[in-house]
């Protein structure tokens, strides 16, 4: 049994946990969870999309997505309309208030993340991107 990948797995999980510890408090200060931000960031400046498309473009599982959409809809951030091309599905998009929220929180959170990522030079960022892409491809 080959287990030489375990240190890589541990570093991957640790890196994600560190990212969450850095990112989540900033989003909470804006009244959002990481999942809500992911949905808002995906829908921002985009035409409405189906729930399936939204699920494919975010890091949110289908079961979690339903609850997140309901909460964001109840806050007036997004709206769901029947899909004119397929009445079995809905089109999901940001409301005017949701788009304003996106325009406020997206650049602010990117600036926060830049505080950490600017510690890496262009070559290191590209190396990390390529390594993570290789890891993604094996699964």
**What is the per-residue pLDDT across 51-102, written as a single tens digit (0 to 9) for each?**
889 999 997 888 899 999 999 999 999 999 998 888 888 999 999 999 999 9
Q: Mean pLDDT over all residues of the chain?
A: 94
Cα angle value 78/80/82 (rounded, 5°): 160
Q: Please give the tally of structural domains in the chain.
A: 1
pLDDT of the residue at 77: 97
More confident: 48 or 87: 48
* 51 falls within a domain: yes
pLDDT of the residue at 107: 98
Please tell me the distance from the alpha carbon of residue 114 to that of residue 34, in angstroms, as a whole number: 17
| Cα-based distances in Å from 85 to 49, 81, 82, 105 | 12, 12, 9, 32
pLDDT of the residue at 54: 95
- Residue 126 structural domain: 6-138
* 1 falls within a domain: no
* 43 falls within a domain: yes
């Amino acid at each position: 049994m080959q287990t030489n990948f375990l240190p890589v797995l541990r570093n991957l999980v640790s890196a994600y946990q560190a990212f969450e510890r850095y990112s989540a408090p900033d989003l909470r200060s804006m009244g959002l969870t990481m999942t809500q931000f992911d949905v808002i960031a995906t829908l921002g400046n985009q035409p409405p999309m189906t729930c399936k498309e939204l699920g494919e473009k975010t890091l949110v599982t289908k079961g979690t997505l339903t609850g997140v959409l309901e909460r964001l809809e109840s806050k007036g951030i997004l709206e769901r309309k029947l899909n004119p091309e397929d009445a079995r599905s809905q089109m999901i998009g940001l409301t005017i208030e949701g788009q304003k929220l996106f325009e406020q929180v997206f650049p602010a959170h990117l600036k926060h993340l830049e505080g950490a990522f600017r510690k890496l030079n262009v070559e290191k960022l590209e190396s990390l991107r390529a390594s993570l892409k290789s890891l993604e491809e094996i699964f």
